[in-house]
Amino acid sequence: MRNALAVRAGERATFVGTFERMGSKRGWMGDQPTVLLKDIRTPAGELICDHLWFSLTKAFASLHLTPGDVVQFDARVREYEKGYKGRREDVYVAIERDYKLSHATKVRKVER
């Protein structure tokens, strides 16, 4: 669990992260592109979490990110459930609560 995010649940704040790579996730309309940011921190330098995945929104796509780029953005801390929620009996991953950053806005590159 991301404890530093848990204490900020519901809060909207500014964060800074380093772009690592692109990825994808499965969606109901096929694979959807994602962005991996690592070392998510507050602007003051407090480490919030080691990594987070974001959907590739227009704001992220417009930056033309390369590995190592530092990105600043505003986001809301949200709770979510993770784990397997299907009906297959041969697959078991316990459902847990975790925290993420959602609704990223004001996305921009900052100096390395």
d(CA 67, CA 47): 20
Report pTM.
0.83
What is the residue-averaged pLDDT of the chain? 90
d(CA 81, CA 28): 18
Cα 95 from chain centroid (whole Å): 19
Residue 3 above 90 pLDDT?
Answer: no
DSSP tag of 86: S
- For 3-110, CATH gives 2.40.50
Ranges of each domain in the chain: 3-110
What tens digit of pLDDT does each residue of 34-81 get?
Answer: 999 999 999 998 999 999 999 999 999 999 999 999 999 999 999 999
Residue 112 above 80 pLDDT?
Answer: no
Q: In sequence order, what DSSP letters do the residues of 65-81 get, joined into one string? A: --TT-EEEEEEEEEEEE
Q: Which of 67, 77, 78, 55 is nearest to 109 (CA)?
A: 67
